[in-house]
Amino acid sequence: MTKLIVSDYVAPIVGYRFWVWDKEIGPQLRSMQGGQPWIPRQRLQAYCVQADRETWSYIISHHHEAPDEHCSCGIYAVKSLNSPLDLRKAHIYGEVYLWGKIIEHRYGYRAQFAYPKSFVLQKGILGCLSHLVDYGVEIRDADSKVLWTPATTSSSGISSASPGAQGRP
């Protein structure tokens, strides 16, 4: 049986996760296609959702606060990039701050609150860079080249990154 460790963190811990850049609704950074949007400068709070099989949508469950020990809700992150889920295949992945109630599993966490700490963008998704700077966190490409950091002004950061952003191999 898996032993769960439930903690309440005031100071954030750091995990890793991937995101989806959803051009159809938004454009917005999301947990998955159609999932919860991550808003710049705003913490993401987990809520428990249940699938409504009639409307093919998700409805918020008010049975408990998320995450819950006996449910699968919460904001997911893994402990390491070397976990069984290889995040480096995702278009956008990176570090994420987690805090509040956190349920620890073998390879990762389910958290109550989260905010991105850094992003790594694959080449095919560099067009969203100008949107992602709104989050105010460091952004690198898949070769670890810094595309933008909070220390640079947004205009110079974007212009210095633009040769790569234009799709140069």
**At its nearest, how many Å lie between Zn ion and the CB of residue 40?**
26
Using CA atoms, how far residue 137 sits from 43, 65, 88, 96, 129, in Å, is 13, 28, 18, 10, 11
- Residue 72 or 159: the one with the smaller Cβ distance to Zn ion is 72
Count residues binding Zn ion (CB under 5 A).
Answer: 4
Taking CB under 5 A as the rule, does residue 68 contact Zn ion?
yes
Binds Zn ion by CB under 5 A, chosen from 20, 29, 44, 48:
48
Q: Give the up-direction half-sphere exposure of residue 49: CA atoms within 13 A in the CB hemisphere.
A: 14
Question: Considering only 8-16, 45-53, 104-112, 116-124, which stretch makes contact with Zn ion by CB under 5 A?
Answer: 45-53
76 binds Zn ion (CB under 5 A): no
Shortest distance in whole angstroms from residue 36 CB to Zn ion: 13
By C-alpha distance, which of 82, 116, 84, 114 is closest to 99? 114
- Indicate which single residue of 29, 44, 46, 73 sits in contact with Zn ion (rule: CB under 5 A): 73
* Residue 120 interacting with Zn ion (CB under 5 A): no
Measured distance CA(72)–CA(114) in Å, rounded: 16
The Cα-based distances of 156 to 15, 52, 118, 145, 149 in angstroms read: 29, 46, 19, 15, 10
Report, in Å, the least distance between residue 62 CB and Zn ion: 10
